[in-house]
Amino acid sequence: MRAPPQHRLRRLRRRPPPGPLDYGRHLWMRLTMLATFVFLYAPIITLVAFSFNDSRRNVVWRGFTVKYYLKAWHNDGLIEAFTNSLTIAVISTAVSTVIGAMVALQLWRFRFPFKGAYEGGMALPIVIPEICMGVAMLAFFSRTYWPTDLIWPFNLSAIIIAHISFSFPFVAVVVRARLASFNREFEEAAKDLGASEWRVLRDVLLPHMAPGLVAGALLAFTLSLDDFVITFFTSGPDTVTFPVKIYSMVRFSVTPEVNAASAVLIAITLALTATAMFLQNRAGQKMR
């Protein structure tokens, strides 16, 4: 049975006053938190809300509509860009997950000369400014006369390669964190019982790595789907991706159609991230 309102009020009043370290219960702290979250979320929420607004001028609410979603759906350029983005993300995720897992296994298992420098090199794509990587890729693909007029999806190869280069180190970091919790005695036991290297990898290591691999793959997918700067320098007129397309639309004008397209991308990214977090949580709970 729910408590009657007065009773609840009394219970609220009976709560002890905030202790000296209960920073979260001080009024001004709460206001700061509230202001910060409003600052972080209000722009995104209004963007999504106004994709349903029945008006071209974005500021005033004129009623609910999904016509801008339909319009975005019938915009061939947008759909083509979206298909390109998904294709690039799928291929680059597959390759970078494999390469990233290899880096993680190698760094986790072996001691070798210049390991520190090697690790630093592998971390470079994470730390250098995106713009530098973008222009380097542009220069590289133009200097090597990389073919750009191949049939789809081979014309996306330059973008895919660039995406693999910046995502596999992220996968390596995630997978390596997962490997840290592996008990090497399992590996030794399997080898004692006559398992080959390959068998140990397939039947012992990979099952343990699985949550890390999935989390790493989802991260790589999101990174690829979201990337603008590096793609901007590697894409040509025939290889427009979703963010690059949105960029050109934004430069042109601010319309609810762009809001609708953005809302779709936000929804996809959030769903992927939620999945990754859920999987990691579950793996963490299983370990306990």
Partner 1 sequence: MDNWRKNPRVFWILSAPPALWLLGFFLLPLALIWAYSFGHKEGIIGIAISWTPDNYLRALDPLYLQIFLKSFWFAGMTTAVCLIVALPVSLAITFAPARWKALLLVLVILPFWTNLLIRTYALIAVLRTRGFLNAGLESVWDSVDGVARAVGLDGLGAFTPPQLLYNNFAVVFGLVYVHLPFMVLPLYAALDRMDRSHLEASLDLGAGQFRTFFSITVPLAMPGILSGVVITFIPALGSFLTPDLLGGTESQMIANVIERQFKSANDWPFGSALSFILMYITFFALALRAFFSRGRSAMDT
Q: Give the C-alpha separation, 288 to 280, whole Å.
A: 13
Nearer to partner 1, 4 or 275 (CB): 275
Sequence-ordered list of residues with C-beta below 8 angstroms from that of 275, at least 6 positions apart, any chain: 218
State the DSSP H helix or E strand holding residue 203, giving kind and residue range, or none if neither: none
Cα separation, 65 vs 268, in Å, equals 21
Least separation in angstroms between residue 256's CB and partner 1 is: 10
The answer to whether the beta carbons of residues 247 and 238 sit under 8 Å apart is: no
Q: How far is the CB of 273 from partner 1 (least distance, A)?
A: 5
Give the Cα separation of 226 and 89 in Å (integer): 9
Confirm if 43 and 262 have CB atoms less than 8 A apart: no
Residue closer to partner 1, measured from CB, 5 or 116: 116
CA angle, residues 40, 43, 49, in degrees to nearest 5: 130
Task: Name the residue nearer to partner 1 (CB basis): 189 or 250.
Answer: 250
Asked if 126 contacts 230 with a C-beta cutoff of 8 angstroms, the reply is: no
Q: Which is nearer to partner 1, 4 or 17 (CB)?
A: 17
Cβ nearer to partner 1, comparing 50 with 211: 50
Minimum gap (Å) between residue 193 Cβ and partner 1: 18
HSE value, Cβ hemisphere, 13 Å, CA-based, for 240: 17
Task: Indicate the residue among 80 and 130 with the shorter CB distance to partner 1.
Answer: 130
Give the three-state DSSP class for 158.
helix
Shortest approach of partner 1 to residue 99 CB, angstroms?
5
Minimal distance, residue 263 CB to partner 1, in Å: 9
Supply the minimum distance, in Å, between the C-beta of residue 124 and partner 1.
7
